[in-house]
Amino acid sequence: MIRPRSRARRLGAAALLLFAVGSVQADEVYLYLLPDGSRMLTDHAVHEPGYRLLRSSGTVKGMGRLAAGGAPRGGLDPRHLNRMIADIAQRNGVDAALVKAVIRVESRFDPYATSNKGASGLMQLMPATAERYGVDDLYDPRANIEAGVRYLKYLLDKYRHHPQNALAAYNAGEQAVATYDGIPPYRETMEYVRKVLHYRALYARQ
């Protein structure tokens, strides 16, 4: 249990660090969960055992609440998330069950998921994809899903609505699919496509 004074000191330190990082206009801001449960905000990547990257962003927007520990560690309310997925999928002409399946495999519905390759949020967008679709905050659930669905729609159109190739490109990149004229023989990608299609069929029955 954190004593009130100790927690107050940590929140004050986080606020000061947030102000300092914001004032120097850092190119990237990183938030880490430390082994003792505290959180560290910094303007450079840290590679230390036990340090878990919670968020990296080109803006300090929303970092104060996260640094103070106010953001949920788990996923969103399932009903709210389902409504959001259905709305965005319908507007973009993409199967909602497929979108939900991609989110399940990519992040397990954790809006703050961050991979060691730099993919972030519910649909694990890479920074270049986020920039392509005008997303400033990769950890904003609606913005993340919106960009992810638009990218998925682009891939489905490109591969004539063959979900296997579209999903392979989502996971391994369009160049890999072009090189092998289909799903590349990567174990991770083949397993990824299999899992997404499995969950798509499951969610379609719900």
CATH number for position 156: 1.10.530.10
| pLDDT tens column, 170-181 | 999 999 999 999
Q: Are residues 84 and 63 in the same domain?
A: no
pLDDT at 56: 75
Amino acid at 47: H
Q: Answer positive or negative: Cα dihedral of 62, 68, 74, 79.
A: negative
CA dihedral 39, 131, 115, 196 (to 10 degrees): 130
Structural domain contains residue 181: yes
Total tally of structural domains belonging to the chain:
2
CB proximity list for 5: less than 8 A, separation 6 or greater: none
Structural domain contains residue 73: no
Q: Are residues 86 and 23 in the same domain?
A: no
pLDDT at 154 over 90: yes
Structural domain contains residue 137: yes
- Give the residue numbers annotated as catalytic, written as ranges: 106
Which residue has better confidence, 187 or 18? Answer: 187
**What does the pLDDT average to over 9-33?**
55
The Cα–Cα gap between 138 and 55 comes to 9
pTM, entire model: 0.70
Which residue has better confidence, 94 or 19? Answer: 94
Q: Read off the pLDDT band of 163 (50, 70, 90).
A: very high
SS3 190: helix
Which residue has better confidence, 136 or 55? Answer: 136
The Cα–Cα gap between 95 and 193 comes to 16
